[in-house]
Amino acid sequence: MTKLVHVERCDGIAIVRIQNSPVNALSAQVRGDLYNALQSLSKEEAIVGIVLAGSGRGFSGGADIGEFGGPAGSFRAGEDPARVTALIEEIDKPVVAAIHGFALGGGLELAMGCHARVASAQARLGLPEISLGVIPGAGGTQRLPRLVGVSKALEMMLSGRPINGKEAALIGLVELVVDDDPVSSAIRLIKNRQAGDGVGHATRFMQVPGAGKDNQAEIEKARSRATSMGAKSKAALKVIECVAASVGQSFDEGMALEREAFSQCLESPESAALRHVFFAERAAGKLDTPGASGVGKISTVGVVGGGTMGRGIAMSFANAGIPVRLLELTEQKANTAVEAIRLEYQRQMDRGKLKAAEAAGRSALIQAARNEGEIGLCDLVVEAVFEDMQIKLEMAQRLGRACRDGAIIASNTSTLDIDRLAQASGRPADFVGLHFFSPANIMRLVEVVRGKGTSANTLATVVEVVKRIAKVPVITGVCWGFVGNRMLEPYLREVESLLLEGASPSQIDHAIEGFGMAMGPCRMMDLAGVDVVAKVVEEQAKEGRLPEDPLYRIVSRHLASVGRHGQKTGEGFYRYEGRVAADDVDTHSLVQAMAARHDVKQRQDISSEEIVERCMLPLINEGYRLLAEGIASRSSDIDVVWLTGYGFPQALGGPMYHGERLGAAHLLKRLSHYGSTQGNIWNYWTPAAMLAAHAGGNP
């Protein structure tokens, strides 16, 4: 037997274990080995029953996603993924799945093909294929409705969310839930079977429960939900079609439909993008520099600054069970921030998002610090004070003195020079940037900024803790704005140029949201605060970082100077009635006057295509510069930053993936087009050297 499937025989029962570390993915080889093992066991007279289990962390994480994108059709060219379950259903001995850890996707489909299932209470069972833009392809769409009914099956497949063993038992997905080892319970289940009890149920022969008319109503309800599922809509509609077949057609007809629908989804650009996102997120936290001799343990965290950012950061750690001390200018201010956090947890509890005990537990983990000495005892201290170099320099210096030996000091700056701050701390090896995004307790992205002197151990330790608090760490080098904000700059520059040329805020936002961004740039600036946005530009001006272009981002700077600070003041790019934004004649007049003053010719013919291209091309171009400079080490890291921090559409896989799909030659052609229509005085349309090189090699 190969090493990927291990068979053990014990007292007439065979235990077949999948052994494909790290998650027992069902690669073609695993499926082949399983088939052979089961077939030969079915013929062994001494074997009266078979337990199917996984080794290591779980039962199985499903189909090997890496095989989906291989050479054309490589996944389908292998044997039919449903072949193993078809065989199990034919075996005249009980085959029982023993599920621990997780049974996801193809893993759960395999279990559903068994004659019975035993799961540990904490195991996670689900069909998350929708997150990858595909549908279950090994019988899941046919067996799940038969086991749990149409409504629950649709809910599980359309949300992709796993349920635990206890819930699985409640809805009939598993026959038995246990607190201890499911394998021994599965053995007992087989042994306890009375002679003549048969082999258990082959799911394929079951009828989908529920009245036809109720099932039809559920299917219709799901159809209307599926159309608004963005990148996942296509797969969602296919899931629904297959579930409808499970009700109205034979098992074999349903399987044929599922196979065809799975192939169509697999070949869709949305699925390719979502698979890219899956692997990009997992690659993002990988350290590309060896040298870390060990990952330090972070048991306590200090947060300096109790503003919106500081509070969100404190909650992020407490949510993962890590105690936090929060320091403010005075103890009273620290108490106020801690109280505000308690109220936020209370609010989450009131809205049913947290249980009372969880809210109380998390609140209790965050305490006000009385002085720097208390903060200095923590393993990691994150400063989230006002974004001003002088203030941050002073704080770095103070923390360098106050923090105990071996502690890590992090700055939550979104743009400032980490190397200068590290130097000020006097402890560059212990210093790192941790750029959380607002609201920090919700947003998953953290840019981990590695300074020149940041030690390998410091980096490895913070990456580990960022993952522990369920966020996505992306390692970047030091430059203004790191990856995200540096790319945001040329994007917003073009937004403001388009406004000057006559596009309205809603026209721009509509085009960009049509492209798929979660929020248009004008609404985004209004929400962030136009004053805050403008200050970032002014700070760059002070440092001599801006081109000498007199029009550079003058719209936001002017709006800020006349007090139009966005949603919080009721007017910014838009005018607000509560949260509802509407184009405003005053903004229009202000921008028109600015354009006239600077001889910018306004036009009526700005199309959505132009808006999208002019905003996206410079952004992607900047991404190539970041790669060439080594600020980002993988283009997929840039994608993760924009997907998780800026609402870039998942269906497009991130700006770099999208750019690659458009092709370097195309990008170059369009940059050159805008270089000639817009003029290229400030080199805005000059292609990055790396992009030009790509296009050279890819005519």
Strands in 369-485 per DSSP E: 380-383, 408-411, 431-436, 445-449, 472-476
63 contacts ligand COA (rule: CB under 6 A) = yes
What DSSP designation does 582 have?
Answer: E
Output 333 or 634, the one with its CB closest to ligand COA.
634
In the complex, least distance from residue 696 CB atom to ligand COA, rounded to whole angstroms: 32
Of 5, 13, 18, 25, which one interacts with ligand COA (CB under 6 A)? 25
In the complex, least distance from residue 126 CB atom to ligand COA, rounded to whole angstroms: 8
61 contacts ligand COA (rule: CB under 6 A) = yes
30 contacts ligand COA (rule: CB under 6 A) = no
Residue 317, helix vs strand vs coil: helix
9 contacts ligand COA (rule: CB under 6 A) = no
Peptide bond into 22 cis (omega under 30): yes
Give every CB contact of residue 569 below 8 A, 6+ residues apart in sequence.
563
Question: Per-residue x/- mask for ligand COA, residues 279 to 298, rule CB under 6 A?
Answer: x--x----------------
In the complex, least distance from residue 75 CB atom to ligand COA, rounded to whole angstroms: 10
In the complex, least distance from residue 276 CB atom to ligand COA, rounded to whole angstroms: 12
Select from 77-85, 127-135, 197-205, 594-602 the region that touches ligand COA (CB under 6 A).
127-135
- Nearest Cα neighbor of 465 from 538, 382, 372 is 382
Would you say 116 and 151 are in contact if contact means Cβ atoms under 8 Å apart?
Answer: no
Of 33, 64, 175, 417, which one interacts with ligand COA (CB under 6 A)? 64
Select from 99-107, 111-119, 238-246, 296-304 the region that touches ligand COA (CB under 6 A).
99-107
Q: Tokens in use for 30? A: 């695993």
Of 33, 89, 109, 129, which one interacts with ligand COA (CB under 6 A)? 129
505 contacts ligand COA (rule: CB under 6 A) = no
Rounded Cα–Cα distance for residues 534 and 615 (Å):
19
Select from 22-30, 184-192, 193-201, 226-234 the region that touches ligand COA (CB under 6 A).
22-30
128 contacts ligand COA (rule: CB under 6 A) = yes
In the complex, least distance from residue 668 CB atom to ligand COA, rounded to whole angstroms: 33
428 contacts ligand COA (rule: CB under 6 A) = no
Rounded Cα–Cα distance for residues 587 and 605 (Å):
20
82 contacts ligand COA (rule: CB under 6 A) = no
Of 51, 52, 104, 595, which one interacts with ligand COA (CB under 6 A)? 104
- Of 120, 246, 411, 414, the catalytic one is 414
Sheet holding 163-164, edge to edge: 102-104, 124-126, 163-164
- Tally of CA atoms within 13 A in the half-sphere of 660 that contains its CB: 15
Output 131 or 423, the one with its CB closest to ligand COA.
131
Residue nearest to ligand COA (CB): 105
370 contacts ligand COA (rule: CB under 6 A) = no
For residue 120, what are the CA distances in angstroms to 60, 177, 517?
A: 14, 5, 41
- Of 435, 565, 658, 694, the catalytic one is 435
In the complex, least distance from residue 95 CB atom to ligand COA, rounded to whole angstroms: 22
In the complex, least distance from residue 140 CB atom to ligand COA, rounded to whole angstroms: 10
Footprint of ligand COA on 245-284 (CB under 6 A): 279, 282
218 contacts ligand COA (rule: CB under 6 A) = no
Footprint of ligand COA on 133-162 (CB under 6 A): 134
Would you say 513 and 525 are in contact if contact means Cβ atoms under 8 Å apart?
Answer: no
For residue 246, what are the CA distances in angstroms to 141, 203, 251, 666, 694?
A: 7, 12, 7, 45, 49
Cβ-count burial 391-420 (b if 16+ within 10 Å, e if not): ebbebbebbbebbeeebbbbbbbbbbbbbe
Output 255 or 619, the one with its CB closest to ligand COA.
255
Rounded Cα–Cα distance for residues 512 and 647 (Å):
11
Looking only at the bridges linking them, the beta strands covering 408-411 and 49-54 are unpaired
Phi, psi for residue 449 in degrees, rounded to 5: -95, 115
Would you say 91 and 199 are in contact if contact means Cβ atoms under 8 Å apart?
Answer: yes
Output 65 or 688, the one with its CB closest to ligand COA.
65
What DSSP designation does 686 have?
Answer: P
In the complex, least distance from residue 463 CB atom to ligand COA, rounded to whole angstroms: 13
In the complex, least distance from residue 68 CB atom to ligand COA, rounded to whole angstroms: 7
Of 54, 94, 105, 312, which one interacts with ligand COA (CB under 6 A)? 105
| Active-site annotation holds for 447 | yes
Residue 256, helix vs strand vs coil: helix
Select from 39-47, 124-132, 369-377, 381-389 the region that touches ligand COA (CB under 6 A).
124-132
| Active-site annotation holds for 683 | no
- Tally of CA atoms within 13 A in the half-sphere of 534 that contains its CB: 19
CA dihedral 165, 167, 168, 174 (to 10 degrees): 70
In the complex, least distance from residue 335 CB atom to ligand COA, rounded to whole angstroms: 37
In the complex, least distance from residue 322 CB atom to ligand COA, rounded to whole angstroms: 18
Q: Tokens in use for 40? A: 């030969």
Report which secondary-structure segment, H or E, holds 133. Answer: none
Of 23, 130, 199, 265, which one interacts with ligand COA (CB under 6 A)? 23
Of 111, 132, 459, 466, which one interacts with ligand COA (CB under 6 A)? 132
Output 50 or 63, the one with its CB closest to ligand COA.
63
Strands in 529-641 per DSSP E: 574-577, 580-583
- Of 281, 447, 613, 660, the catalytic one is 447
Report which secondary-structure segment, H or E, holds 481. Answer: none
Strands in 340-386 per DSSP E: 366-368, 380-383
Strands in 468-622 per DSSP E: 472-476, 574-577, 580-583
Q: How many residues does the chain have?
A: 699
59 contacts ligand COA (rule: CB under 6 A) = no
HEC profile of 329-344: CCHHHHHHHHHHHHHH
Of 49, 54, 62, 376, which one interacts with ligand COA (CB under 6 A)? 62
Active-site annotation, residues: 414, 435, 447, 485
Query: What residues line the site for ligand COA (CB under 6 A)?
Result: 22-23, 25, 61-66, 102, 104-105, 128-129, 132, 134, 279, 282
